[in-house]
Structure 1
Amino acid sequence: MKFLCLHGMGTNSQILQIQLIGIINQLPQHEFIFVDGLEPCPPDPEVKSLWPGGPYLCYYTTPIPEHLEEAYSLVLEVMAEDGPFDGVIGFSQGAALAASMILQHQKDQPTAAPLFSLGIFLGASLPFDRDSTLARQSVVASKHQPSGYVGGKEEHDLLILQRYDPRTTSLRIDVPILHVAGKRDPFYQQSELLVGLCSADAASVIHDGGHFVPKDTHSTARIVRLIDAMVGRVQHRC
């Protein structure tokens, strides 16, 4: 299978390759294509200490319709040029972008083939809904919305897109998804809510760490095993 890989905010494709190396090395039969975001943004201090050279990139700085649409266009262009892709792997913002695009595709083309046949979301935040806007003050008030960089402006000064929430929408991702999340990740609650945005054909790996891809032998082996199982189910359906 061929996987499209989307990195987290303030990192880049090379960093994501390093983050995923333990998983990828055990899946040599698959192909992985990494896509850099086009927008520069400040890195997390820990990221900067581990990878001081940069560049530090993201797919969108501020979650407004124009920026999300530009991110969609970037990914769709890569899919048109280098695809077709069977699956998508996203970390943090990359996972949120992938989920947003899958849901948008289902809304726009409900009878079409899915955008991807399966997905792996690691350290994910909730995806933004391109079709709705929300006052920023309401987002800050939500316990499911950690603060963070949104283009260098004060967050409460912005009107940004609303995140999908399984408690307020009936829309569900209808392809198999593997969720990987850390109990100490500030986005852990959002990752849990994202599980609720998926159909019954979803699996989870929960580790004891923070906002990173787990590298311990047990977690890696379980992730690889669940990916193999998902791939097998998808191929069997085909």
Structure 2
Amino acid sequence: MKTIKILCLHGKGTSAEIFKAQTVSFRQLMKDSIHLDFHFVDGPLDTSAAAGIDLFYGPPYYAFWEEENATETQAAQTWLADLIAESGPFDGVMMFSQGCILGASMLLRHQIQNPHQPPPFKFAIFICGGAPLREMESLGYSIAPNVWERDRLSKYALHYKAGLSAILSQGSARWTEVDTSITAEDLAEEITGPSGSCPIKIPSVHIYGSKDPRYYSGMQLANLFDKQTRRTYDHQGGHEIPRTEAISRKIMDLVNWAAISGVGYDG
């Protein structure tokens, strides 16, 4: 049986072990499915815990960068390229939060600068991700001012809702519905690609929650990928990976679809 190797990139202020725990509910359902090898890695930088994470998980905590700017994100991409050269190749990549921005940045830069070369991954799974706005700006994308403001406010709201005080006082009720009146088409019009740019065509899965303050950023991330080779799923929660059986089985199906579509798996 062919093994499909998937690199797993965690969120800021967590770790490989934490990402393992966050994804175990759907990964354990795959025992009788196709053979997927999930390769979890720690980010290169020591950091403090993400908001509220230390209530559930102990240190150490890692990040791919502290500030999302051109210098630090490029250093993270160099680190990732070195990791792929040393421990890869990887068939696909599965990411959460900051890990999504790193993976999307590498895929997008490759699409713009090396369109005729094979991409670094054959498929991608984004969980609670966001559009890599700084990377997009550096690559020539035109981004409307309201996108930057919405991005800023969503990060602030996420930090508040994920914080220790909100968890202890409100629990899961801290995740409240966001205004979902802006459509994917509206969001697409807020960002314009440089001349010659086109959607990323590898199979991609975009999992986000309609109660996540970063909901719209996740939709804008999905817009970077071709409609014909992407699937989206709203788990209707917050900035998290819900662990109910129904949601876990849905995510499992999406991961299987991406892996099979990406590598042409035939058993």
In 1, Cα distance between the equivalents of 2:100 and 2:56?
A: 22
Picking from 34, 42, 67, the partner of 2:48 is 42
Task: Give, as a single letter, the amino acid of the residue that structure 1 aligns with 2:37.
Answer: E
Equivalent residue runs for 1:123-138 within 5 Å = 123-127=128-132, 128-129=134-135, 131=138
Find the counterpart in structure 2 of residue 88 from structure 1. Answer: 93
Alpha-carbon offset, residue 96 of structure 1: 1.2
1:116-153 superposed Cα distances (whole Å, 9 cap, x missing partner): 1001000001113173599xxx58962133235xxxxx
Pair 1:77–1:187, CA change in 2 (3 A): same
Q: What does residue 236 of structure 2 align with? A: 208
**Paired position in structure 2 for 1:7:** 10
Alpha-carbon contact 1:140-1:147 (below 8 Å) kept: no
Q: Measure, in 2, the Cα distance between the counterparts of 1:144 and 1:79.
A: 30
1:147 is the counterpart of 2:155 = yes
Pick the aligned partner of 1:33 from 39, 45, 59. Answer: 39
CA shift in 2, pair 1:63/1:83, >3 Å: same
1:199 to 226, 230, 243: 226
Distance 1:103 1:96 in 2: 10
Aligned residues: 218
State the superposition RMSD in angstroms.
Answer: 2.3
Separation in structure 2 between the aligned mates of residue 14 and residue 82 of structure 1, nearest angstrom = 18
Contact 1:9–1:58 (CA<8 Å) still a contact in 2? yes
Bigger mean CA deviation after superposition, 101-110 or 27-36:
27-36
Q: Which amino acid is the alignment partner of residue 149 of structure 2? A: S
Tell me which moved more, 68-77 or 38-47: 38-47
- CA distance in 2 between counterparts of 1:81 and 1:139 reads 41
The whole-number CA distance in structure 2 between the counterparts of 1:87 and 1:190 is 22
- 8 A Cα contact 1:205 1:219, kept in partner: no
Could you say if the C-alpha distance between residues 64 and 235 of structure 1 is closer, same or farther in structure 2, counting changes exceeding 3 Å? closer
Quick one: distance in 1 between partners of 2:146 and 2:20? 32
Q: Does 12-21 or 68-77 show the bigger shift?
A: 68-77
CA distance in structure 1 between the partners assigned to 2:42 and 2:69 by the alignment: 20
Give the structure 2 partner of residue 180 of structure 1: 207
Q: Which has the larger radius of gyration?
A: 2
- Once structures 1 and 2 are overlaid, which stretch shifts more, 105-114 or 82-91? 105-114
- 1:174 Cα offset (Å): 1.5
Note if 1:100 corresponds to 2:105.
yes
Deviations 1:173-196 (A, max 9, x none): 221111111111111110011111
* Cα 1:121–1:85 shift into 2, 3 Å: same
- 1:90–1:121 contact (8 Å) kept in structure 2: yes
> Who is 2:71 aligned against?
66
1:168 to 171, 184, 192: 192
3-state SS, counterpart of residue 155 of structure 2: coil
Q: How many percent identity over aligned positions? A: 29
What is the CA distance between 1:91 and its match in structure 2?
0.1
Give ranges in structure 1 of 5+ residues lacking alignment: 149-164
Tell me the SS of whatever aligns to 1:85: coil
CA contact (8 A) 1:6 1:90 kept: yes
Moved over 6 A (4+): none
**What is the TM-score of this pair, normalised by structure 2?**
0.75
| Aligned residues of 1:4 and 1:88 also touching (Cα < 8 A) | yes
Q: Normalized against structure 1, the TM-score is what?
A: 0.84
